[in-house]
Chain A
Amino acid sequence: MTFLAPLMLLGSLAVAIPIILHFLYRSRFRRVPWAAMEFLRKSIEQTRRRLKFQEWLLLALRIMLLLLLALAFARPVSRSTANAGSSASDAVDAVFVFDTSYSMDAADGPMTRLERAKQAASTIIDHLPRDSTVQIIQSADRATLLGPKSPSQLGQARQIVNDLRATSLSTDHLPGLLEAEEALRLGQAANKELYLFSDMQALGFERQQSAVGEKLRSLSRLASVYLVRCGNRPLRNATVAGIQPQSGIPHAGERIGLAILVRNTTREPLANVSVTLEAAGQSDTQVLPVLGPGETRAVSLTARFDKPGLHRIRARLGSDDLSPDNAFDQVLLVRDQVRVLVVDGRPNERQPDKSSSFFLLHSLRPVPEIAWGKYPIQPRVVTPRQAAPALLADKDVCILNNVRLGSSTAEGEVLGPEFVDRLADFVRSGKGLLIFLGDQVNPMIYNQSLVQKHALLPSRLGDVVRLPNDKPVRLDPSTCDPQGYLAGFREEPLNRIGQVEVDQYVRLEQLADTAAILLRYSDGQPAVVRHRFGQGAVVLVTTSADTSWTVWPILPTFLPFVHVTLGHLLQEQTQAHNFVAGEIIRWYPLARQAGSAFTLIGPDGNRTVVNAEVVAGRPVVTVQETLYAGLYQLLPTAEEDVGSGQPSAAASGQPATPANGQQQGPASGPPKLSGLVPQAVPFAVVPDLRESENLESLSDGELDARLGFSPTHLTAGDDLSMFSGGQRLNWEWTRWLLAVVLLVALAEAVVAWLSGRATGS
């Protein structure tokens, strides 16, 4: 506790007054010669103790009265609940934390919630006492101290507030509060105030509920905490939850079906929700008559891409109260051909149908031989000995089929370590790897090479499980991961995969954290496991792709499995171009571009320069700030310098040899784009849709209950000047002390009256 007017504490010396008066009063008396002394003596003896008690009680009350008055005039303030040294007129170190999650962009009457916040902040700044300081923090699920550089420059603070924009991030108040705590601790004024401008969306307090509550409680001991509610009108909102290609592999020249997932995130039904797909300069629109509360609907729209390459597609909804989640961008890779390298561990040229890849190849090219040349999937089969690392350069997917690994190709038909090393880089750069096991596979060597050395496999391989011929296991379609790409196998007709009998398979041990079991056998053991590796993906099938361990390759469900898996592995390659707001974009350019400068073109057209730095021997361009949804494009600065003139070799997709020895083919460099800046690498960033899942705001009472204390609740739009000044006064103990003074005075009057009153006869 400190005092705003400590000199007034000298007033406590006035306690001497009643003491002096007490004794002075006793010394100033009237002498009366008295005859009836006996009665006097009796009455005094009877009342002496009571009178003395009353006398000292009165004296104590009067001393307390004066002490409390002196204390009240000294204007004490307590650090436990308020700012030390605060008053309505003393300087304030104010920290404004603005919730800039995209729900703040929701319409609230004629303006958005963020605009209300700005208006309220401006009003508060206007009414701050002289010499006050303000620091502005932008906070969503991460926080940034925006300034001003000199906190006392309130004009700069106003400008920063005016320039604030809602991000595409979701709400989490903890980072902002942590930043605010640091800013408050740096403040010099005794009077500190923290303003949190937010729509008080439940998500912001629930994601790290205990930590947020604890932090706000600790901040309330450091500063006065204001929660400024910026709009709380219920919202009507639909959001695009995602875009899923309905065909396995998008090919150029084909019309592609795309499922637009539309979700009503509010409690009210929405009518006439228009859904538009914009792609390749065309648009396709469909209107949903009704979208029930919480309902998610897939709207099928189509697009046609004439040229292969990376394409930007955008799903857009009609207007509602919250526009930031109405647009959903995605980068789609459209191909003319898919090049697949199949390494067959048991080739048989004389009797191709005896080779391990026989059924696999027919599944990859399910057309007559005469049409193989024009078929979009172009597999190339090699033996392990023939498998050179360079073969991977122009491939999109590699399939290891019953391949034996070895330390040297001199051992026979074994896959050499050089190829394995290159294979790891191949996957890491975003390509796909599909592995079928079989009798050529030695689990121990696989573990050494693919698990211990490269961590390519999702799990260590255990023993081979050999089942009696009359007691095979079956694939269990009910175990298909509903969120995985095999989810379709849970339904007719693909659920006939349950008829697949398996005699032998490899038991998996110690699944990696990033592994996901997509399908199991009827005995519960994993059959298909997926694993992300770098920017690519690995799918492991624990049985064989020939008929030595299972009859699956000759059953109808094998072909869709291969195609769906291939599509998934190809789709994974575009994940390197699709992000959620807040995620870090990492792009691996050609090796010779290490140290080169790139221009990042943001969704708003702003350009910034980023350099390709070498990390772990590879050049990587890192974009940390993806706060806003939309299309980001990365362009080699040299390209930008020449504009749309001659493309450089680096950006033109010509083969290049990276410094680490890896080769990158045309697909590794920036692919050709449609509707984008030429030669630019596109990245689609979508809003963090966790924000839209629950748009409910917490009431003041709910906030108090969750936080465990009662901060000051303000509402943007109210007269905040009244609050900001008046509340500071409230935090002084003066008012309460004066109330106590009144009570003590009342008590003194009562005691004095009772003391002076003739005690009942």
Chain B
Amino acid sequence: MLTSLESDLLARAEVLGIKARTIVEGLRVGEHRSPYRGFSVEFVQHREYVPGDDIRHIDWKVYGRSERYTIKQYEQETNFIGHVLLDASRSMLYGEGDSNKLAYAKLLAAVLGYLIVHQRDSASLAIFDDKWRTILPPSSQPGHVTAMLRALEGAVPRDKTSIGPLLHEVADKIRRRGLVFLISDCFDDVPALLHGLRHLRFQGHEVTVFHILHHDELDFPFEGMVRFEGLEDLDKYLTRPPLIRPAYLRALQAFLKELQTGCEADQCDYVLMDTSRPLSDALGEYLARRLRVKRL
């Protein structure tokens, strides 16, 4: 499935990534301090100028010698590591086709990995449910994306979610600060989850929580008599959803509010993603917002 990543999505993600990188660079020479000071920038090669390139990057010395406009290309060396943590518990199995939460989450993880690696940063991938199932160490090699995609392709839900303890493990293991992207439906003990996030923040990581929920879970639009069977446990409830919808929505809103408030309190980015919405739109919004206020 991941091999058929939408080219449009990837192209846009690339554009966004390029813009982000440009912005980061711009921030470094501008009024604002770049959060990435200390990153080395090494020359790699020249290439011929094409319209649209920034003329500031024209190597005038080469022009003096050959009267040809040549652009200097650099290879950046950075300590930016993006840690993508993907929840592959059974609760992520809800949804059909593209709106399946796990599929949506995998796509998101792939996009993030692609963006990070494409920016020459290092990306790591960890897939978990109540324990770590797959861990790919950080790498910035282009082939690392392929490895990530394969790992994602091979992720099969097995058990229920237990995020909190795993976040503590991550916080303890990752010494170098970086970006942590948690992709999950967060159907877990919220205080434990928030405690884990707080640990990550304490270690200096920037944390973004991509909260993946299906539209059904957000709107509860069922009619008739429905027996709900738990994906992560054996509970079964036979009910008429229209009758309990208000109560359900109240409980859901309380959960979302607790989670969002907790994230904001720990200065974590919280992004609620409805799987019925195209990922490109949802991620584009997030990236645009992040570029406005922070950086990638």
Contact = CB atoms under 8 A, between A and B. Distances in A.
A518 B82 CA distance: 137
Contacts of B93: 33, 35
B229 A31 contact: yes
A37 B94 contact: no
Interface in A29-44: 29-44
A645 interface: no
B39 to A, nearest CB: 41
Contacts of A29: 224-227, 238
Interface stretch (A242-250, A416-424, A648-656, A753-761): A753-761
Given A35-B91, A39-B252, A40-B228, A760 B239 contact: no
A40 B248 contact: yes
A35 B185 contact: yes
Interface string A29-68: 1111111111111111011000100100000000000000
A471 interface: no
B237 A44 contact: yes
B246 A37 contact: no
A26 interface: yes
A548 B242 CA distance: 119
A755 to B, nearest CB: 7
A42 B242 CA distance: 15
Contact of B231 (A26, A34, A47, A755): A34
Given A33-B93, A33-B94, A35-B185, A760 B246 contact: yes
Contacts of B228: 32-34, 37, 40
B230 interface: yes
B232 A35 contact: yes
Q: In which size bucket is the chain B interface? A: 35 or more
A755 B240 CA distance: 11
B243 A25 contact: no
A528 B230 CA distance: 117
Interface in A1-51: 25-26, 28-44, 46-47, 51
Interface residues of A, number: 29
A35 B247 contact: no
Contact of A37 (B235, B243, B255): B235
Given A37-B235, A756-B242, A31 B248 contact: no
Nearest to A755: B243
A34 B229 contact: yes
B251 to A, nearest CB: 4
A242 B267 CA distance: 120
Contacts, number: 109
B272 to A, nearest CB: 14
Given A31-B229, A32-B228, A36-B187, A26 B94 contact: no
A750 to B, nearest CB: 16
Given A30-B227, A34-B228, A43 B248 contact: yes
A757 to B, nearest CB: 8
B235 A30 contact: no
A33 B251 CA distance: 19
A205 B245 CA distance: 69
B222 interface: yes
B244 A51 contact: yes
B41 interface: no
Contacts of B247: 42-44, 46-47, 759
Contacts of A761: 246, 249-250
A35 B250 contact: no
A365 to B, nearest CB: 118
Contacts of B187: 35-36, 38
Interface string A211-245: 00000000000000000000000000000000000
A103 to B, nearest CB: 72
A35 B225 contact: no
A487 B74 CA distance: 153
A436 to B, nearest CB: 109
B227 to A, nearest CB: 5
A759 B246 contact: yes
Greatest chain B CB density within 10 A among A40, A44, A758 is at A40
Contacts of B249: 761
Contacts of B243: 47, 51, 54, 755-756, 759
B8 interface: no
Greatest chain B CB density within 10 A among A34, A44, A54 is at A34
Interface in B108-126: none
Nearest to B239: A44
8 contacts: A31-B227, A34-B94, A35-B232, A37-B237, A40-B237, A758-B242, A759-B247, A761-B249
The 5 closest A-B pairs by CB, nearest first: A43-B247, A35-B91, A39-B251, A34-B228, A29-B225
Given A32-B226, A37-B235, 14 more contacts: A26-B225, A29-B224, A29-B226, A30-B227, A32-B229, A33-B228, A35-B230, A37-B232, A43-B244, A43-B248, A47-B243, A47-B247, A761-B246, A761-B249
Interface of A: 25-26, 28-44, 46-47, 51, 54, 755-756, 758-761
